[in-house]
Each structure stands twice: as structure tokens, then as C-alpha cells.
Amino acid sequence: MRVTIYDIAKEADVGIGTVSRVFNNHPSVSHGTRSRVLEVATRLNYRPHPYARGLASNRTNSILAVIPFFTTFFFLEILQGVQSKLSDLDCDLILYGVNHPDQVASSLRQNALRSRVDGILFFSMKMPEEFALQYLQHRTPVIVVDSYHKSFDSLTVDNQEGAFHATTHLIKLGHKRIGLLNANIESAPARERLKGFQNALTGAGLAIVPGLVKNSSSPILDGFTRNAGYELMKQFLSLKGEMPTAIVVASDIQAVGALAAINEAGLKCPDDVALIGFDDIELASHLELTTMRQPMYEMGALAADTLADRLKNPKEKVSQTKFVPKLIVRKTCGASMHRKQIEAIA
């Protein structure tokens, strides 16, 4: 049978309480006893039983990650970031993937019945109020990442800043006629990116030409899709001579579609029109897309850290952290053709 604290207590000639204390790093165990217990434990190859532990202590040593399975993009990096902190937390990571944004609630409902976890990392989706209440009631700490909820700690990307930087980069490269290929303006990220875009233009004394701002009206994933990018780019292309010389695209995946449209039209990026994306998905590097990188690994890691803090200090005021995307210069903005110019900018 499996070895229990009783076995090792008997063998080490101590009480089970002491054994338990040793394994919980309780201070009041003499050095001698501790090392003796530890010695016996390793000799007998003892492993604490997580469930017995959880049952007795009312902790689970596991956290739940609720992540969107429909965005393949950051997912991996985020999880890597989370996992890098897991051993600090001494925690298992239970994964729950949601296949479609509309399914969050029903998915959670099905899942919430099952596991009991010490905390939840909730990624990139709007937390249904029904569950927010439930978690608050149960005092289950929740960290919301790449999304926002007033009652929980949140980590977000500063979309406005990101779009501001992207636009500014193009301006510094000498572009005067700059467009925005945006997602569905109903979505918060799209609105924020629009604002950053506008700020950058007005800040530089450039006019905002309404015809050069194109929002997607696609209901699918708020227009953050390849196809939405493709369609909007076609609209830009139909402007012919009126076309912007550079376009800020609200996401890399849309930029992929835009690039396809540009190629199809027999034009070249960046020669005929420069592009700057947002996200830095894996594809971006292969397509040499200049983009605003979202620090996903870091966000995953910080999310785990934040949860750790929250577990320690349940009553601390909810925190809100903003990450600023970082400019990754590749080829689609044309900057790589002018090394000197980039250096001047930097």
C-alpha cells in the first residue's frame, strides 16, 4: 500500500502531527526531528496525498485557467508564463478551454460543478456576471487577464498607448496620409486603438480624415479576423490615388488578410502601402510584419504572481495593471529599408 504519515511517524518514532508539521514547513519542529523525519520520508519514498491534504486543509493547490481556445495566438505563451510561476505556487494547473466567446457562460456552468480550485485565471473574455457573483461569494480569487472586471484584479494591455506608438512610428517614418484598419468599434480594444490613433495624429498636427478610418462591421470575433482585414483592405485599395501611404491595422490577423488583398491587387507592401500590425502573433515574424507586440509570456507570469499575492492577502484592494505593447520593427512599415532613419527614431 501507499506510505502515509503514519508509516513515517512510526519509523521515525514521532507523532503524525510532527510529520505533518515537517511537510508544512511549520517552524516549531526541532532541527534534529525534522531531518530525521525527512530522512525516513525519502527512504520510504513518501508522497503526501494531495486530496487528503486538500480535504483537511480546505485548500486545493490547484488553480484553474479559463482560456479562449478560439484565439490560437497568445495562448501558448501565456500558459508558458503561467507555468513558469507554478512551482512557486506549488500548484497544479487545471485547464479549461472555451471554444467560442458566446459559450463562456455555458462552458463555465458545466465546469464549475466539478473542480474546486484555489484561484482562477480568466483570460481574454468578458466574465459573465453570474459567475463573477458566484466567485465573489465563494471568495475564490480571480485574476482577469486581457479583459476587465471591477471586482477582480486585472491585467490589461494599453491599447491606446499601443496604437499611439504604432501611429507615431509611421509618422516619424514620414507618412502623412495614414489610415486605420480597425476591428468592430463596438469592442473596447477597437475603441481604444482608435483613440490612440487619433491622439497620435492630432498630436503631430495631422488631420484625421474620416474616410481613412475603417471599422469592421463583422460580428465574428469583433472583426479580429483575417477575412475582416481582407475586406477592409479592399475598401482601402478602391480609394486608388486617395489611398493612405501607411495603415495601422488593429491586429496581426487582420494584417494577414490585408497583405493578401494587397498582393492580390498586384501591389507591394511596404512600397505601395506600409502596414503596422498589433499583437505579434507567430505568423507576424514569418510575414515580416512590423507590429506592436503584446507581452503575453510576461502577462501569464504576472497573472500567476498576482494570484499568489491575492491568495496571501484576500482583502487587499483590487489592482489594475497595464502593459504597454512594444514596437517590433520588421519590413512591412518600410523602416527596414532605412536603417539610419530607424536609428534616428530610436
Partner DNA sequence: CTGAAAGCGCTAACAC
Partner DNA sequence: GTGTTAGCGCTTTCAG
Q: Which residues bind its own copies (CB under 8 A)?
A: 47, 49-52, 54-55, 60-62, 65, 69, 72, 75-76, 79-80, 83, 87, 90, 92-97, 99, 110, 113-116, 256, 282-283, 286-287
Report the residue from 11, 18, 144, 165 that binds DNA according to the rule CB under 7 A. Answer: 18
> Between residue 28 and residue 47, which ones bind DNA under the rule CB under 7 A?
28-30, 32-34, 46-47
Read off the C-alpha cell for 241.
490615388
Q: Which is nearer to DNA, 5 or 212 (CB)?
A: 5
| Stretch of 17-25, 63-71, 220-228, 241-249 contacting DNA, by CB under 7 A | 17-25
CB of 35 to DNA, least distance (A): 10
Q: Who contacts 273 (Cβ-Cβ below 8 Å, separation ≥6)?
A: 236, 243, 244, 245, 246, 247, 262, 267
291-292-295 Cα angle (round to 5): 125
Under rule CB under 7 A, how many of the chain's residues touch DNA? 32
Give dist(CA 109, CA 120) in Å, integer: 14
Q: How far is CA 318 from CA 133, 150, 280, 321, in A?
A: 15, 8, 29, 10
Check if the beta carbon of residue 178 is closer than 8 Å to that of residue 334.
no
Question: In which residue are the cell numbers 505533518 written?
Answer: 20
Kindly report the three-state secondary structure assignment for every residue of 206-250. CCCCHHHEEEECCCHHHHCCHHHHHHHHHHHHCCHHHCCCEEEEC
Tell me 245's DSSP state.
S
Q: Which is nearer to its own copies, 39 or 242 (CB)?
A: 39
Report the residue from 11, 14, 184, 300 that binds DNA according to the rule CB under 7 A. Answer: 14
Helix (H) or strand (E) holding 164: helix 159-172
Q: Which is nearer to DNA, 12 or 200 (CB)?
A: 12
Report the residue from 39, 42, 43, 49 that binds DNA according to the rule CB under 7 A. Answer: 49
113 scored as a contact of DNA (CB under 7 A):
no
95 scored as a contact of DNA (CB under 7 A):
no
CB of 291 to DNA, least distance (A): 47
1 scored as a contact of DNA (CB under 7 A):
yes
Q: Which is nearer to DNA, 53 or 293 (CB)?
A: 53
Q: What number of other Cβ atoms are within 10 A of residue 50's Cβ? A: 13
Check if the beta carbon of residue 105 is closer than 8 Å to that of residue 322.
no
The binding site for DNA (CB under 7 A) comprises 1-2, 4-6, 13-18, 20-21, 23-24, 27-30, 32-34, 46-49, 52-53, 55-58
